[in-house]
Amino acid sequence: MINIMSVDAERVGHFGAYIHDPLLIMLQLALALSILYTTLGLASIAAFVATVLVMLAYYPVSKLFSKYYKSLMQSRDQRMKVTAEILKNMRILKLQAWDMNFLSKIYDLRNVENEWLKKAVSSLALTVSVFWISPTFVSVITFSTCMLIGVPLESGKVLSAIATFKMLQSAIIELPNLISTITQTRVSLLRIASFLSLNELSVDAVVKLLASRIDNQVAVEISGGNFTWDHLAPHPTLKDINIKVEQGMRIAICGTVGSGKSTLLSCILGEVPKVSGVLSLGGSTAYVPQSAWIQVEV
């Protein structure tokens, strides 16, 4: 969630500054190739083919960069999630002397993130290398074709062709940055879309009791409740829950670690998706979580 708000949303916003670049690059390429055709004749076809080959060379590299960048963002999300959870429960970690264990876990996650970062940067460096080679490659192919088909390389034609290659180079210069920006924006859009496509909490998960039921001192009532965090799971998280709590009662929920005590409270708050059953509440609810503390006697 933090990365979506701070990183992905920012990248999507910045893409507006590059949205016109594809059209400009295509226009520059068309003008440059038309000038080359006027200057060199049929040899401009070789320049066109070389330019197409350069653009095709960018595709597998950009595909590789997209794959590595997506994995990088996923590993970064995992690290941020664990870090936020540790900072949230720092008092408990200090009290139980678990800080070094969780610190090593963060280091492991950071090492995984660094590995994906290295791969992403390496693929980006490969893209830049293709970019630097491409102007020389196009020039060599074009002038070699001129020599093969007998086009005279006069000084005026050569200088005009070199100036046109500069125009091509300016278009190709923007290509790696544009591909990187489009790739990052696409990954960010997919991440934002996947988050926005998550199922909303059901509005009818909790039924508010009528005043007549509240007068009968019914505070919380669950009949045949089945709740699950994951709809794809074969079995619900909590199954066949039947409970009735009247107002004024003090209830203690006891159980082993991971038995579902906190999940039951989340069900009452309407935070866990309901599969079946009826959950009714009378009046308003408040949730006061536990807070670790250390008492020092003076």
- pLDDT digit string, tens, across residues 151-167: 787 777 778 887 777 77
DSSP annotation of 5 reads I
- CA end-to-end span of the chain: 43
The CATH number corresponding to 207-281 among 3.40.50.300, 3.90.25.10, 3.40.50.1820, 1.10.260.40 equals 3.40.50.300
What pLDDT score was predicted for residue 161?
80
Any idea which residue has 């503390």 for tokens? 293
pLDDT: is 269 or 1 the higher one? 269
pLDDT at 213 over 60: no
pLDDT at 215 over 60: no
- Find the mean pLDDT for residues 63-83: 86
Give span(s): CATH 1.20.1560.10, the chain.
Answer: 2-196
For the domain bounded by 2-196, which CATH number is listed? 1.20.1560.10
Cα dihedral across residues 267, 270, 274, 277: positive or negative: positive
Residues 6+ apart with CB under 8 A from 17: none
- Evaluate if residue 212 carries a pLDDT over 70: no
Question: Is 157 exposed, middle or buried, given 0-12, 13-18 or 19+ CB atoms closer than 10 A?
Answer: middle
Nearest to 116 by CA among 74, 59, 79: 74
Given this model, what pLDDT does residue 292 score? 58
Helices (H) and strands (E) in the chain, counts: 9, 4
The pLDDT score that the predictor gives to residue 287 is: 80
Average pLDDT over the chain reads 80
Strands (DSSP E) contained in the chain are 207-208, 218-227, 238-246, 274-281
With a cut of 70, say whether residue 294 has pLDDT above it: no
Domain with CATH 3.40.50.300 in the chain: 207-281
221: β partners: 244, 280
Q: Which residues, 6+ apart, have CB-to-CB distance to 120 below 8 Å?
A: 65, 68, 69, 72
Length of the chain: 298
